Amino acid sequence: MIKRPTSRALPGPAGLPHPPHCARLPQMVRGSSLSRRQFLAAGSSLAGASLAGGIYWTRHLWGQGPPSGDRYASKGGLLEAPLEARFGPGQVIGRPANVFSFNGRVPAPLLEARAGDTIRISYTNLLPEVSNIHYHGLHVDPTGRGDNVFLEIQPGEPFLYEFTLPPYHPAGTFWYHPHVHGSTARQLGGGMVGMLIVRAALDDIPEIAAATEYFMILKDFGIRPDGSAGPGPSLTVNGRENPTLTIQQGGLIRLRILNASIDRYFRLQLEEHPLHQIGTDGGGLPQRVAMDELLMAPAERSDILILGDRPPGSYRLLTLPYQSQIADLALMPEMATPAQTAPQVLATITYQGRADRTVGLPDRLVTVDPLPPPTLPLRTFEFHTTALPGGFVFQINGKDFDHHRVDTEVLLDTIEDWEITNSDPLDHPVHLHTNSFQILGADGQPEHAWRDIMNVRAQTSRRFRVQFLDYPGRAVYHCHRVAHGDLGMMAVIEMQNSFPPRARMR
């Protein structure tokens, strides 16, 4: 049975010219990858930056929308946007630094489409190294001009991305960033990150449509002695430290939150306010979930409602301490990241004025059907790092990444359970391209939520259920602590309509 993701609301109150020449479609090389020794020397500060040039994130109340050049929305079923990958002088948290960017802006322009739209991106690589774009979380063609992470677009070359969202594509907060193996941490961490919003049934629910919408990209930044930007002690929202968001008494705000850090986890809490989650990585939930705090691993997204029902004043959005590695890292001291020992402020939410009418919280959201039991045996994967005299070997099932090798072959329209075992002393957030999945609980049942990131705690195992739909071709799965993927913790999956004679499933 083919069971496509649904995105219908439940009842209740609740063209650009073709570039003159294009990058080679089928190729990918390791490019300018960092050696393991260089990784050890750099630690977790492989990359990271934010330009102050993303003016709308700073000047505008996000719910009012960005000015021209910082937002591209679809019209008549087509989203067109020009994107240029650049490297050069910019600013991080108000100070000059050398940064990577899209269009000279960090965050990059906001892209908005609706389910069924065609997306056409006229891209030019102005970097001094190869690059590309990954459309993280979208269920689209992973080959050709689609979400093709095997592309290597050479310096100075243009390329036309073009793909169509399925009409049943769920609403959600997705994003885009570079994905050249060996360079992802440097380029993504250096500021090349933007949100890509898909609107569908969830956005049409009256209470959600009435909420003021904020877009929040979380990243940690610092400036190295050589003037380049990288992860550091400053925690930012859209490139700013502790920005102020406003909420009306009796009003409702919607926070679309993305953890775009290459390594840092955020454990969110808003003073005296519950967080009402309405969506995860892959779209909306069947009903809102109230929580006191929310853990977000690298690359995770969350869609949150905040009700303005507290006394007037200012309330801090905090990130609480989180231990993403077990205490004993004696065997791998270079892999340890500095522990956060106290709450840190991300933003401040301030009451301002009173809503003309009280906006309530929706109870029922969208249909998320649980996937039926798998049609094939359980697949098992071990994410493991080995310490060697010269550095570390980052592997999945005893192999480091080779883009020429297919590690996993699957058939379209089949359902599988995957078990991920993390034998390391630190967490690994696992990301699968092209097809979202449902995490399995302790009872073996799938949760009613679509995900593309599953955080696997140190020295534990977790399972998810996935159905491979629509698109044949190659994609990847990997750890989204991005340096781990750059250094080998990535593998190739090939989705096929049928296996050739005598092919053996791997």
Q: What is the pLDDT of residues 350-372, one digit of tens each?
A: 999 999 888 889 989 999 999 99
Higher pLDDT, 406 or 233: 406
Task: Please give the pLDDT value at position 90.
Answer: 78
In terms of Cα–Cα distance, which of 289, 291, 233 is closest to 267?
A: 291
Task: Please give the pLDDT value at position 216.
Answer: 96
Look-up of token digits 């102020």: 244
| pLDDT of 341 strictly over 90 | no
Mean pLDDT in residue range 192-207: 96
Helix (H) or strand (E) holding 40: helix 36-42
Mean pLDDT in residue range 43-63: 33
CATH number at 206-326+337-354: 2.60.40.420
Q: In whole angstroms, what is the distance from residue 261 CA to residue 432 CA?
A: 18
Task: Please give the pLDDT value at position 160.
Answer: 98
| % of the chain surpassing 90 pLDDT | 70
**Average pLDDT of the chain to the nearest whole number:** 85
The CATH class, in words, for 379-496 is mainly beta
| % of the chain surpassing 70 pLDDT | 82
Q: In whole angstroms, what is the distance from residue 274 CA to residue 259 CA?
A: 20
Task: Please give the pLDDT value at position 11.
Answer: 35
Residue ranges of domains in the chain = 36-198, 206-326+337-354, 379-496
Reported as a pLDDT band with limits 50, 70 and 90, residue 25 is: very low
Mean pLDDT in residue range 63-69: 48
174, 135 in Cβ contact below 8 A? Answer: yes
Of 23-37, 110-124, 230-244, 293-307, the range with the lowest mean pLDDT is 23-37
Are 36-198 and 206-326+337-354 equal in CATH topology? yes
Helix (H) or strand (E) holding 207: helix 206-210
Instruction: Give me the architecture of the 36-198 domain, per CATH.
Output: Sandwich (2.60)
pLDDT tens column, 473-486: 999 999 999 999 99
Mean pLDDT in residue range 51-80: 60
Reported as a pLDDT band with limits 50, 70 and 90, residue 15 is: very low
